[in-house]
């Protein structure tokens, strides 16, 4: 709980952005028209939902593990088109890579803020 008190507005904003990106990734199969591609669509729905849920958790009660989870989820979103074999579906690849990069970078920033704040206190 002490971390909640010391979190800055920028850190909360990063979690809000991750929430929006997670929701956005969940919606991309419909928006970009790849719902018929089962593996790609399910990966977007599940990864997006998990990213969003972790971001909500971080907004409610911050814990460093949540940022590590979102970092892993972001990296997964980036590499999943090649691992799961839907790299030929251009729209799905771009949706996953862009969302994954955003989530991973923001999670890395949050981790840096958490470490910086801890060492300064």
Measuring CA to CA, which residue among 84, 74, 85 is closest to residue 50? 74
- Averaged pLDDT, 22-37: 96
Could you report the per-residue pLDDT of 34-93, keeping only the tens digit for each? 999 999 999 999 999 999 999 998 888 877 888 899 999 999 999 999 999 999 999 999
Does residue 23 carry a pLDDT above 80? yes
Q: What is the pLDDT of residue 120?
A: 47
102: confidence class by pLDDT, cuts 50, 70, 90: very high
Does residue 7 carry a pLDDT above 80? no
CB 21 within 8 A of CB 102: yes
User: 118: exposed, middle or buried (C-beta count within 10 Å: 0-12, 13-18, 19+)?
Assistant: exposed
Averaged confidence pLDDT in the chain: 88
Give dist(CA 103, CA 85) in Å, integer. Answer: 22
What distances in angstroms separate CA 21 from CA 5, 18, 25, 79, 115, one per listed residue? 25, 5, 6, 17, 24
Does residue 6 carry a pLDDT above 60? no
Structure tokens at 73: 């989820």
10: confidence class by pLDDT, cuts 50, 70, 90: low
């Amino acid at each position: 709980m002490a971390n909640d008190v010391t979190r800055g507005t920028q850190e909360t904003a990063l979690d809000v952005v991750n929430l929006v990106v997670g929701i956005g990734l969940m919606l991309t199969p419909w928006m970009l028209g790849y719902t018929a591609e089962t593996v790609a669509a399910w990966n977007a729905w599940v990864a997006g939902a998990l990213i969003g849920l972790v971001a909500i958790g971080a907004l409610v009660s911050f814990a460093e593990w949540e940022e590590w989870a979102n970092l892993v989820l972001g990296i997964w979103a980036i590499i999943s088109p090649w691992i799961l074999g839907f790299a030929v579906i251009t729209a799905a690849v771009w949706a996953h890579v862009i969302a994954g990069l955003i989530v991973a970078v923001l999670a890395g920033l949050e981790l840096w803020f958490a470490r910086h704040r801890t060492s300064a206190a």
